Amino acid sequence: MKELLALIPENRRKFLAFLCENDAPHSLSQISHSLRLAHVTTRKIAEEFESLGFVKIYFIGRAKIVLPTERLKDLCANLQDA
């Protein structure tokens, strides 16, 4: 599993690592500031992971809230075990 993770671009690895460490819901702005990524980049990564089923994006007013799904939690658990 870690070999596959090594093939993922660095920005996406950072995003996955952030969500694995922080299980709580976060806004895209919080994630982009924490990872020091552009907001647009963070949004595109979140949308990509939503299409893969790793996160769910909720719209609350003008904010987009990213919530990890069970599929991502299982992936994080597998990565910690390996």
pLDDT (0 to 100) of residue 81: 79
Q: List the domains of the chain with CATH numbers.
A: 2-81 (1.10.10.10)
Distance CA 8, CA 17 (A): 12
pLDDT (0 to 100) of residue 82: 64
32 is written with which tokens?
Answer: 């982009």
Give residue for tokens 């299982």. Answer: 74
Judged on CB neighbours under 10 Å (0-12, 13-18, 19+), 1 is exposed
Question: What residues have CB less than 8 Å from 34, skipping those under 6 apart?
Answer: 18, 26
- Write out the chain's pLDDT in tens, 82 residues: 667 777 888 999 999 999 999 889 999 999 999 999 999 999 999 999 999 999 999 999 999 999 999 999 998 888 887 6
pLDDT (0 to 100) of residue 53: 93
